[in-house]
Amino acid sequence: MGKGKTSVNRRPAHEQRASDAESKENKQAKQTTCQGQATIQSCLNAKKVLQKNPLGAILEENSSKESSKLSEGVHIGGPKEPICDAPKDSMTKNQTKSGQKRTSDKPTDKKLKSKDSGSNRKVTDFYPVRRSCRKSEAELKGEKQRHIDDLIRSNVEKGLKVKCMEGKGRGVFAARAFLKDQFVVEYHGDLLEISDAKAREAQYAVDPSTGCYMYYFRFHDKNYCVDATMETNRLGRLINHSKNGNLQTKLHEMDGRPHLIFLASRNIREEEELLYDYGDRSKEAIAAHPWLKH
């Protein structure tokens, strides 16, 4: 080129500076489309994070709502199908990512015991056990047996008195009321075997003034007799005979020895005469004691 000539292709200085600045800005700026949308190069680069995406917040909100609905079991669109939990692998359940077993999944024995002890409570933990005060029939019978033993040993004859009656002689009367089956008095005398009793009875027959105070009975398949003929201060021997008496005789065993006792066959009033049935209906006894017929 000659001096003083200008090149056709050469731009003015101010245009050249403007184009250089624009190219510099393009180099510094990211290669994006309108409003920050991804270009082909940014899509090909998977590691590159998208910036200034206006739909990002909406997409994140929709994805969070959809995941929450799926976790709650809500069916979104399409035909309804039963939601089944995916089978969990036993290895992933019991192990962490590092391969170590989890210990916090299963409660310890102490925790189980504490839970069981708290839930398995009984009514007796809050209310005391009510025990019955009622006694069994065997206990009541044993107490009654021991009570009669004490009365026999102590020779108790309370609530009785003797009265003399014209044409009948002496008799025993109740000084207080007695209840049915209550102990009244013992028929006390000499306990004899049958052979000795017959010998004594023969002696008493010689003297007609001797009264009849011999009581025969059977105990453990053997015959015995209580002889109360001898005069004593015991009142059981003075109780008179009657077919309709208010006393009944009972055998009471104490220390292997039989005792004849009188129990009230019914409720007995105060001042009522005590009577029992002698039980002898033989012709000889009735001939000797005519009052046995009544």
pLDDT of 202 strictly over 70: yes
Ramachandran angles phi, psi of 249, nearest 5°? -85, 140
Say how far apart CA 175 and CA 221 lie, in whole Å: 37
% the chain with pLDDT above 70: 53
With a CB cutoff of 8 Å and minimum separation 6, the contacts of 196 are 225
> Which token pair is 40?
């082909």
* CATH assignment of 140-293, among 3.40.50.2020, 2.170.270.10, 3.40.50.880, 3.40.30.10: 2.170.270.10
Output DSSP code: residue 85.
P
Please state the pTM of the whole predicted model: 0.53
Q: In the prediction, which pLDDT does 269 show?
A: 96
Mean per-residue pLDDT, 245-261: 94
Summarize pLDDT for 2-42 with one digit per residue, the tens: 444 444 455 556 666 666 666 665 555 545 444 445 555 55
Indicate the length of the chain as a whole number: 294
- Domain definitions of the chain by residue range: 140-293
Mean per-residue pLDDT, 119-145: 77
- The alpha-carbon radius of gyration of the chain (Å, integer) is 61
More confident residue, 284 or 162: 162
pLDDT of 273 strictly over 50: yes
Mean per-residue pLDDT, 58-64: 63
**Which residue type sits at 277?**
D
Q: Considering only 84-88, 254-258, 271-275, which range has the smallest mean pLDDT? A: 84-88
% the chain with pLDDT above 90: 35
Mean per-residue pLDDT, 237-257: 92
> Which token pair is 246?
């208010």
Residue bearing tokens 């077993």: 101
With a CB cutoff of 8 Å and minimum separation 6, the contacts of 50 are 36, 38, 42, 56
Say how far apart CA 68 and CA 74 lie, in whole Å: 9
Mean per-residue pLDDT, 137-148: 87
